[in-house]
């Protein structure tokens, strides 16, 4: 770095000192904390984003959000050139940068990293960063801090895109780096054009009136409800009753939102007996998670259609299109067909969903918990689908498979109209789904299009399989790192002997399944158990939690 660059960094450092006694760590959610503690961190992430742009010579995104957290929290994270999460290799530098207290330590840290990464500051390399925030009141001030950080890097340029959902920003970064028009209008147009294409391709015998049953959506009092209002205005065929929008005055994520609905399994605020049996959905605070639900009679309970159910619906539809595409003319499907479909789950996926997918003949892979692992594995397939039970997930299409579809679609028309339509449907899905990151808006449109294609109500969708009862617990321990797992966190390899005891306990319950894993953020061991009844699942989870507590804990199970 030259003297001008050093001087800019030193001068700005004094205006954004880190809060004393606070250490933050960059993880899947980026940095996240009480908003009052984040000004210095967001300023430094502005510097980080500019350096990442210089290194990759690409457009980078910076999003200010705390997703499903309470409104007093906020956070900041980086979107890499492909629209995905920032590479894990840069996370240690992000942590050190956020926590550096001394100005010269701060400067040396950046200087050393720039040298190690061979980041160039010459006139031929400029940094470009897209900025956005959700609807939190603290977002505007934090956005200013991010801009200050970006401006500390010579030649760096930021573009403030205002209030967006997190997936919108990720989509725009990906589109911009692919040379595609990347405004919010472009995002909406691509989603709606693809949605309409899928609706137009619905088989005549299955097509029903889109207005016949309203979809009721809980917007979590956040940005997702606000953007869904825009979609609704742009698409006359989309009949949605939007509740808990950011404009209705409710508190962000308080008694509302996908995280609340999925964890508590009760109706969100604004829903009640008038909605019994209706098709309902819930977004989270920044609209990167989606779950559906049915309001049950007598009380506030719901029947939840979570990320596993959404994944299963998507997998069934795509398998159907691939089967049509690859029929050999005699009603059978070639075993080595074009378009290898792979399903990616974690051990937290309900066992009933995994069994359902395997019974469809699909390739199901397990990864450790975390979107970064799921996304990476899904990218190995021609079409890879991943979802977590919390409603975060997407579908990835390999570029050469899409090129093959695009180049063959006209030829397929001369062979079979159905093959041609199957190719068009897959191409439409690839443009409707947000391939950068989980996106509640694009996911919702895809669910609605597939239900129309199938001619299904939400009740029929819900009958794909019945979830096995499950229970999650956590046990406080002295040191979570002593537990080492393998096989996508389903097997304990250290301390020795624990896995044998867990296996013996599982054998006491029909369809008993249980695993433990260390938390990524706190000194607890997480316990997950399933069985054929809730009583059995609770008993299995408690038995394993007692085992962990006796060996590693303080006698304080939760």
Q: Which residues are designated catalytic?
A: 67
Collapsed DSSP state (helix, strand, coil) of residue 22: coil
Q: How many CB atoms lie within 10 A of CB 466?
A: 10
Binding residues for Mg(2+): 67, 284, 286, 288
Distance CA(464)–CA(305), nearest Å, equals 11
Task: Assess whether the previous peptide bond of 495 is cis (omega < 30° from 0).
Answer: yes
User: What count of residues does the chain have?
Assistant: 558
Distance CA(517)–CA(423), nearest Å, equals 42
10 Å CB burial of residue 418 (0-12, 13-18, 19+) is middle
The enclosing H or E element of 219 equals strand 215-222
Distance CA(254)–CA(265), nearest Å, equals 14
Q: How many CB atoms lie within 10 A of CB 123?
A: 8
Kindly list the strands in the beta sheet with 383-387, ordered across the sheet, starting from the edge strand earlier in the chain: 363-367, 341-346, 383-387, 393-397
Please say whether the beta carbons of 284 and 68 come within 8 A. Answer: yes
Distance CA(352)–CA(226), nearest Å, equals 35
Please say whether the beta carbons of 241 and 217 come within 8 A. Answer: yes
The enclosing H or E element of 430 equals helix 417-432
Binding residues: 67, 284, 286, 288, 388-390, 517-521, 526
Q: Is 265 left (phi over 0), alpha (psi -120 to 50) or beta?
A: left
Please say whether the beta carbons of 271 and 282 come within 8 A. Answer: no
Spatial CB neighbours of 34, under 8 Å, sequence gap ≥ 6: 72, 73, 74
User: Considering only CA atoms, which of 59, 23, 66, 30 is closest in space to residue 45?
Assistant: 30
The enclosing H or E element of 346 equals strand 341-346
Tokens 């617990």 — which residue?
Answer: 473
Distance CA(67)–CA(287), nearest Å, equals 8
Binding residues for substrate: 388-390, 517-521, 526
Spatial CB neighbours of 129, under 8 Å, sequence gap ≥ 6: 46, 49, 50, 53, 59, 60, 61, 62, 150, 156, 157, 158, 159
Spatial CB neighbours of 19, under 8 Å, sequence gap ≥ 6: 37, 40
């Amino acid at each position: 770095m030259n003297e001008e660059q050093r001087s800019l960094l030193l001068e700005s450092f004094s205006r954004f000192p880190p809060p004393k006694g606070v250490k933050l760590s960059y993880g899947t959610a980026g940095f996240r904390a009480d908003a009052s503690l984040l000004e210095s961190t967001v300023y430094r992430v502005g510097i980080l984003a500019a350096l990442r742009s210089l290194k990759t010579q690409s457009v980078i995104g910076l999003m200010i959000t705390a997703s499903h957290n309470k409104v007093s929290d906020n956070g900041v994270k980086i979107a890499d050139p492909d629209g995905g999460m920032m590479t894990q290799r840069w996370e240690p530098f992000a942590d050190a940068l956020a926590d550096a207290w001394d100005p010269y330590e701060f400067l040396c840290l950046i200087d050393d990293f720039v040298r190690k990464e061979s980041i160039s500051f010459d006139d031929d390399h400029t940094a470009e960063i897209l900025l956005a925030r959700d609807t939190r009141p603290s977002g505007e001030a934090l956005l200013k801090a991010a801009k200050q950080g970006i401006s500390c890097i010579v030649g760096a340029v930021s573009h403030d895109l205002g209030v967006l959902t997190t997936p919108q920003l990720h989509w725009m970064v990906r589109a911009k780096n692919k040379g595609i028009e990347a405004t919010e209008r472009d995002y909406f147009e691509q989603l709606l054009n693809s949605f309409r294409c899928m609706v137009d391709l619905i088989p005549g015998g299955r097509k029903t009136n889109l207005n016949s049953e309203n979809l009721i959506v809980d917007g979590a009092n956040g940005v997702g409800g606000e953007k869904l209002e825009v979609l609704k205005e742009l698409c006359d065929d989309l009949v949605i009753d939007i509740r808990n929008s950011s404009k209705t005055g409710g508190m962000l994520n308080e008694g509302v939102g996908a995280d609340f609905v999925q964890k508590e399994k009760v109706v969100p605020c604004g829903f009640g007996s008038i909605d019994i049996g209706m098709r309902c959905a819930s977004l989270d605070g920044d609209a990167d998670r989606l779950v559906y639900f049915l309001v049950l009679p007598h009380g506030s309970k719901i029947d939840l259609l979570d990320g596993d159910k959404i994944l299963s619906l998507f997998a069934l539809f795509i398998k159907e299109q691939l089967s049509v595409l690859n029929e050999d003319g005699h009603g059978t499907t070639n075993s080595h067909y074009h378009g290898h479909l792979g399903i990616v789950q974690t051990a937290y996926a309900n066992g009933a969903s995994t069994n359902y997918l395997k019974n469809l003949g699909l390739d199901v892979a397990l990864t450790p918990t975390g979107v970064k692992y799921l996304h990476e594995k899904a990218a190995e397939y021609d079409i890879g689908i991943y979802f977590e039970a919390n409603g975060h997930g997407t579908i990835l299409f390999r570029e050469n498979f899409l090129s093959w579809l695009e180049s063959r679609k006209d030829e397929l028309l001369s062979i079979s109209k159905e093959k041609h339509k199957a190719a068009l449907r897959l191409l439409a899905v690839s443009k409707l789904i947000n391939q950068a990151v989980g996106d509640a808006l694009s996911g919702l449109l895809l669910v609605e299009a597939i239900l129309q294609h199938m001619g299904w109500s939400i009740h029929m969708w819900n009958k794909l399989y019945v979830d096995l009862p499950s229970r999650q617990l956590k046990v406080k321990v002295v040191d979570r790192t002593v537990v080492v797992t393998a096989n996508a966190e389903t097997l304990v390899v250290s301390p020795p002997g624990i896995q044998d005891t867990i296996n013996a306990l599982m054998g006491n319950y029909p369809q008993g399944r249980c695993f433990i894993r260390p938390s990524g953020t706190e000194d607890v061991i997480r316990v997950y158990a399933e069985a054929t009844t809730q009583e059995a699942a609770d008993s299995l989870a408690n038995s394993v939690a007692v085992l962990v507590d006796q060996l590693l804990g303080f006698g304080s199970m939760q």
